[in-house]
Amino acid sequence: MEMTTILHSSLTNPPFTAHLSPSKFPRSFSTPFRLRTSLSFSPSLPPKSFPTNCSVSDDTTSSANVATVDLSIALKKKATDVSADLRGTSIFLVGMNNSVKSSLGILLADLFRYYYFDSDALVSEAAGGESAAISLKESDEKGFRESETEVLKQLSSMGRLVVCAGDGAVQNSTNLALLRHGISIWIDVPLDMVAKGIIGNKSLLLSSEIAISGSYSEVLSQLMALYEDMRRGYATADATVSLQTEVAYQLGYEDMDAVTTEDITMEVLKEIERLTRVKKMMEAAARPF
């Protein structure tokens, strides 16, 4: 059975919450792609209850927790409002590989009741694991890039997905065209945060041109060069959400680490809402009187 058939079968009935472990391709690029889905659904946790007799320090903690719960409720309401006009359109998140982007993708999928995929994880599984994927990239650059395109081609043919796209998604016109099958959003994270993440998690290097080993300063220097190469491709996205200028600054945070996944998600939902409204207005304007 071809991969597309299995994808359609797997995505027919989206769960109430969409925590989907990355689906797996076969371990050889010489055979047709197939998808072996491995679903693991996690019900949303109920809001925490807070004690009524708190000390002063407890009051501060409770206020923060209440604010978190309020934001969670606001996110669900915003997602519900946006869903009607989104109509199952898939969402592609582009930008430097980092934990901020992947955490955002998982939360978005949960809010929209979509399925979540990481395109790099699929390429890695197809190669036989992260180490094998890196070896393939080094020994057969063309084959590696073709596998990235094949993954995007299959994912772009589906609806109701949130896809964290690797750097390969913006490196050629074919892949950029595939992103047009959905809404693409550039998640722009400060490079120093990306560098720190790479030092702690080498798997973020899969589709990048960054050396596996190296100090923080060396990784940051390579990231800056890679960013300049990728920026034009990132900029073709339908919208941009900057962690520094559009989230932290607007919320009054001086420390980037104070920004939560929920904060970023709200900004992304606003951008999706704006894009769907513009599309709706254009469709209305195109109708004959």
240 DSSP β-pair partners: 186
187 DSSP β-pair partners: 241
The reported pLDDT for the residue numbered 34 is: 41
Instruction: Let me know if 246 is exposed, middle or buried by CB neighbors in 10 A (0-12, 13-18, 19+).
Output: middle
The rounded percent of the chain whose pLDDT value lies above 90 is 40
Helix (H, G, I), strand (E, B) or coil at 101: helix
In this prediction, residue 55 has a pLDDT band, given cuts at 50, 70 and 90, of very low
**Does 246 have pLDDT greater than 70?**
yes
The reported pLDDT for the residue numbered 275 is: 95
The reported pLDDT for the residue numbered 112 is: 96
Contact 125, 56 (CB under 8 A): no
Instruction: Give, in order, the Cα–Cα distances in Å from 91 to each of 30, 141, 272.
Output: 29, 27, 9
Mean pLDDT across the chain: 77
Render pLDDT for 8-29 as a digit per residue (tens, 0 to 9): 444 544 433 333 333 333 333 3
Distance between CA atoms of residues 288 and 285, nearest Å: 8
Please give the span between the terminal C-alpha atoms of the chain, in angstroms, as a whole number.
Answer: 47
The reported pLDDT for the residue numbered 282 is: 83
Instruction: Let me know if 221 is exposed, middle or buried by CB neighbors in 10 A (0-12, 13-18, 19+).
Output: middle
